[in-house]
Structure 1
Amino acid sequence: MRIKIISLGALAALLLTGCTMIPEYSRPDAPVPDQWPTGPAYDGTVSGRQAPPAADLQWRQFFTGKRLSRIIETALANNRDLRVAALNVERARAFYRIQRAELLPRIDAVGSGYAERVPADLSSTGNSRTIEEYRADIGTTAWEIDFFGRIRSLEKQAMEEYLATEYARRSAQILLIAETANAYLTLAADRENLQLARSTLEAQEESHHLIQRRFDVGLAPKIDLWQVRQRVDAARLDVARYTELTAQDENALNLLVGTPVAAHLLPEGLSSVTPPPDISPGISSEVLLRRPDILQAESLLKAANANIGAARAALFPRISLTTAVGTASDELSGLFKSGSGTWMFSPGITMPVFDPRIWSALDVSKAERELTLARYEGAIQAAFKEIADALATKGTVGHQLDAQRSLVEATSETYRLSNSRYEKGIDTYLSVLDAQRSLYAAQQGLITTRLAEASNKVRLYAVLGGSSD
């Protein structure tokens, strides 16, 4: 019995290292240019080669602000969507183990007893008698010997699907980090806009009181009073609107983090946020192949390729083995006595002769591979566009920021001069209102552009496949 079990294990080990009918896999050529786009929008985006690649930069090295780092850590621990992604990995890993176990025989120990009374008229001896049989066996039942690699192909498919879920978890983690950071930056920008709206409201209320006094003594026309009242109401409207937006921003951040964020961790404004460092996209576009979502798509392509091997193997005979060794006796007390040993060896073979479903299954597996290949290539093209868009913003947002700062300075000086001319009676109050309106819009635009610059750094980190560790 020991020799048979050893031989069975040796046969199983041999089959585990056997061949399969899986088509040879080679990574498809990326359907995108080898280099990043060039042109006026991309000037300087690739020249900063001293900056580290995103994939080699841990998120704690990229998001260095203490408040934001603590919020991201909490999000990684509590976010429900990320938890679902991690549980999907565990489920895929367990399924892979089940599929791999199909390569090994299942050894069962079985004990049975049987007793039957045979009446005299049915007995061959003419006398009634009792038939008893007791057995104790150990063996395997209908174990498929994987000569043609069907089970190993399915095992390969399950392994690649497991890897795909792991890459999906990493992708979800990077996305969560980026979304949390962007929600934090958006809250900071809206809080700064709220501060600007409040200061503008205070200035307009002071102007309203001044115009009211001038009107009362006959030094200002009534239209000036109503014009400044319009700006007061517009500022009040903005204060209410940004109060609403900041509350909604906090709710969005709390949802991502999975728990209410402590007030002392929230930003006062964009100026209080430590800006992320510059990162390099590299010279070659091959860097996008390191993104977890691209690796996920490639693993699914490999899984579809392995499924073709399983479909091919189904065209060939299936060989199964049922075997057992044990003891048997007509008395329970004699079950383990000398000479009661038994064994059973029953190989079987099933040869498909006519089953159109097998050929159709092979066609389906090939079609699924082509579908998965198209999705893989589409994911690469979408990733290339995302990175190119982020690089275009990186190459131009600095110029936008310089122009916006200059615009704020110019409109601020225009407002000062208009106000001075009005106080001297040289100009109407309408010019002051126009200058103040332009200044307020320019200040809002500066906050928006600063947010775009910071958010684009976060986006570039995510689309370049920044590390999730």
Structure 2
Amino acid sequence: MKFSRISIILAVAFAMGGCSLVPEYFRPAAPVPEVYPGQPASDTVTNTPVTEAPPLSWQSYFADADLQRLIQVGLAHNRDLKTAVLRMDEAKATYGVQKADRLPTIQGNLNYDRSRTVFSSSQAFEAELYRVGVGISDYEIDVFGRVKSLTQSALEQYLAVSENRQAVQTTLITEIATQYVNFLAINDQLKLAQQTLDDRKQTLQRTQRRFEAGLDQVLDVKAAQIQVEQVQAQLAQWQRQLATTQNALYLLLGETSHRTPLPVKPLAALKLADVTPGLPSTLLTRRADIRAAEHQLKSANANIGAARAAFYPRLQLTTNVGLVNSDFSKLFSDTGSNYWAFSPQLVLPIFNYGRNKANLNLAQARQHIEVVNYEKTIQTAFKEVMDVLSTRTVIAEEFAARERLRELESSRLQLVKRKLDQGLVTYLELLDAQRSVLDAQSQAVQIQQQALQNQVGLYKALGGS
């Protein structure tokens, strides 16, 4: 009969544990326009509204086979990504610990008590007692959802850390792609500088022969020598930058021993996907940093429920059932005695110098901070997308202009060479034309590099995965 009463009490307590004081969650409105400034709200060809763009996977965006192999190496060995994964394991374990508090912990116990009582008549009584049993100690029955709120907060923290791991992966992929673009661009610059150096050396030798024949002046020879030294200095500068870029790329790959070869090819051979940005609302589900910020906000929201529950009584339960005997050898025999204990405790906060009120204010303040952080994260993401979109058109126009300039400078050089053979121009004019061609070619490579970096930046800004 007594055990039936205990069962009824426990059932009622567990049923009351469904109560929650967590405020209802509402996602804050995104503090950004509905469409990107300068971008059409509908497709000008089909006249259909712009919708959310499909998810960006790095395999489809970075379709180049060489770049994909480098990214795969980085995903397998990069230390920052490994740390992010371990942080996720840490948060998962923390959530597991907090989740376990919602269920009672059953423990076995073996006790030995020896006591001596002295009476006023100088008589003494000694007793010893052995107990063995199982029970629950100080288990909080979550009547007002305090433990449930803390568990929900820990879950949201784990989900936020998981999203942070995805954000680290996206950043890693972006940095590998960016450094590989830099690596190919520097190789193009090196090849261009080496070709130019060979041409300048031939021009110097020809100028020296003409000087010795009395056809050119010493000023022409000095000018040709200066041109050679300038290109050699540029070549050394590009070699230094190449070494630095290789080291940065290998650090991202997680292989400081340089085991993975870096494929070399013309920068123009590297092709990336071209995607539409979609709507700003797409960022809320695409970008891992925004999703992580929202999980942090939900965690802070759940902590308010725990702080509210602290104002209400806590129901703690201690139970035990087992065997007792004064003789250990008879503890498990038929002559042993049974015992049980049921000790519910109601703890009611009366006066704690405003601690509960301060904790509630703290939880609410932190929730307000997370709202602002969430909004700022969205604004930052919107700004990053706009930076990429606003420069993409300008870069394309500059790229076309640089290509036209390079072709014009090359045509001018050929014309100067023909006139030089006819004796109509000096070698100084030839050297000036050669220098202009080198500058135009180098700038064409640089703008092509910026165009690819812009495409890589778009992948990150749109929340590639």
Query: Fold-level match, TM-score > 0.5?
Result: yes
Match status 1:214 vs 2:207: no
Q: CA deviation at 1:345?
A: 1.2
Given the superposition, is the C-alpha separation of residues 123 and 43 from structure 1 closer, same or farther in structure 2, using an over 3 Å criterion? closer
Match status 1:343 vs 2:343: no
For 2:35 and 2:428, how far apart are their aligned partners in 1?
A: 54
Is this contact kept in 2: 1:135–1:326, CA < 8 A?
Answer: yes
Is this contact kept in 1: 2:106–2:134, CA < 8 A?
Answer: yes
Q: CA deviation at 1:129?
A: 5.4
For 1:12 and 1:93, how far apart are their aligned partners in 2?
A: 29
What is residue 251 of structure 2 aligned with on the other side?
255
Q: CA deviation at 1:228?
A: 1.3
Match status 1:163 vs 2:162: no
Which of 390, 394, 400 aligns to 2:398? It is 400
What is residue 420 of structure 1 aligned with on the other side?
418
Is this contact kept in 2: 1:45–1:395, CA < 8 A?
Answer: no
Residue deviations 1:360-384 (CA, integer Å, cap 9, x gap): 1111111111111111111111100
Given the superposition, is the C-alpha separation of residues 233 and 34 from structure 1 closer, same or farther in structure 2, using an over 3 Å criterion? same
Is this contact kept in 2: 1:72–1:177, CA < 8 A?
Answer: yes
Is this contact kept in 1: 2:43–2:50, CA < 8 A?
Answer: no
- What secondary structure, in the 3-state scheme, does the structure 1 residue paired with 2:104 have? coil
Residue deviations 1:267-326 (CA, integer Å, cap 9, x gap): 2331343x11111211x2101112100000111011111111111111111111111111
Given the superposition, is the C-alpha separation of residues 141 and 192 from structure 1 closer, same or farther in structure 2, using an over 3 Å criterion? same
Question: How many residue pairs end up in the alignment?
Answer: 459
1:78 partner amino acid: H
For 2:346 and 2:190, how far apart are their aligned partners in 1?
A: 78
Q: CA deviation at 1:130?
A: 4.1
For 2:275 and 2:51, how far apart are their aligned partners in 1?
A: 5
Match status 1:286 vs 2:281: yes
- TM-score, with length taken from structure 2: 0.92
For 2:402 and 2:319, how far apart are their aligned partners in 1?
A: 82
What is residue 269 of structure 1 aligned with on the other side?
266
Q: CA deviation at 1:208?
A: 0.5
Is this contact kept in 2: 1:323–1:343, CA < 8 A?
Answer: yes
- What secondary structure, in the 3-state scheme, does the structure 2 residue paired with 1:132 have? strand
- What secondary structure, in the 3-state scheme, does the structure 1 residue paired with 2:401 have? helix
- What secondary structure, in the 3-state scheme, does the structure 2 residue paired with 1:92 have? helix
Is this contact kept in 1: 2:56–2:464, CA < 8 A?
Answer: yes
Q: CA deviation at 1:420?
A: 2.3
Given the superposition, is the C-alpha separation of residues 442 and 46 from structure 1 closer, same or farther in structure 2, using an over 3 Å criterion? farther
- What secondary structure, in the 3-state scheme, does the structure 2 residue paired with 1:431 have? helix
- What secondary structure, in the 3-state scheme, does the structure 2 residue paired with 1:347 have? strand
Is this contact kept in 2: 1:43–1:395, CA < 8 A?
Answer: no
What is residue 84 of structure 1 aligned with on the other side?
83
Q: CA deviation at 1:56?
A: 2.1
Match status 1:180 vs 2:176: yes
Which of 422, 429, 451 aligns to 1:431? It is 429
What is residue 352 of structure 1 aligned with on the other side?
349
2:76 partner amino acid: A
For 1:201 and 1:327, how far apart are their aligned partners in 2?
A: 96
Is this contact kept in 2: 1:184–1:267, CA < 8 A?
Answer: no
Is this contact kept in 1: 2:160–2:291, CA < 8 A?
Answer: yes
**What percentage of residue pairs aligned between the two structures are identical?**
37
- TM-score, with length taken from structure 1: 0.91
What is residue 67 of structure 2 aligned with on the other side?
68
Match status 1:141 vs 2:140: no
Which of 378, 381, 384 aligns to 2:379? It is 381
For 1:114 and 1:43, how far apart are their aligned partners in 2?
A: 81
Q: CA deviation at 1:127?
A: 6.1
For 1:60 and 1:70, how far apart are their aligned partners in 2?
A: 10
Farther-moved stretch of structure 1 (339-348 vs 243-252)? 339-348
Residue deviations 1:374-410 (CA, integer Å, cap 9, x gap): 1111111110010011112222322222111111001
For 2:218 and 2:49, how far apart are their aligned partners in 1?
A: 63
Q: CA deviation at 1:153?
A: 0.9
Is this contact kept in 1: 2:325–2:336, CA < 8 A?
Answer: no
Is this contact kept in 1: 2:210–2:216, CA < 8 A?
Answer: yes
What is residue 37 of structure 1 aligned with on the other side?
37
Farther-moved stretch of structure 1 (423-432 vs 316-325)? 423-432
Match status 1:196 vs 2:196: no
Q: CA deviation at 1:334?
A: 3.2
Q: CA deviation at 1:433?
A: 2.3
- What secondary structure, in the 3-state scheme, does the structure 1 residue paired with 2:63 have? coil
Is this contact kept in 2: 1:190–1:245, CA < 8 A?
Answer: yes
- What secondary structure, in the 3-state scheme, does the structure 2 residue paired with 1:28 have? coil
What is residue 104 of structure 1 aligned with on the other side?
103
Residue deviations 1:99-157 (CA, integer Å, cap 9, x gap): 11111111111011223566xxx258976654110111211111111111111111111
Is this contact kept in 2: 1:134–1:335, CA < 8 A?
Answer: yes
Q: CA deviation at 1:238?
A: 0.8
Match status 1:333 vs 2:332: no
1:398 partner amino acid: A
Is this contact kept in 1: 2:53–2:282, CA < 8 A?
Answer: no
Is this contact kept in 1: 2:174–2:456, CA < 8 A?
Answer: yes
For 2:44 and 2:13, how far apart are their aligned partners in 1?
A: 54
Residue deviations 1:392-449 (CA, integer Å, cap 9, x gap): 2222322222111111001111122123223322123332222222211111111111
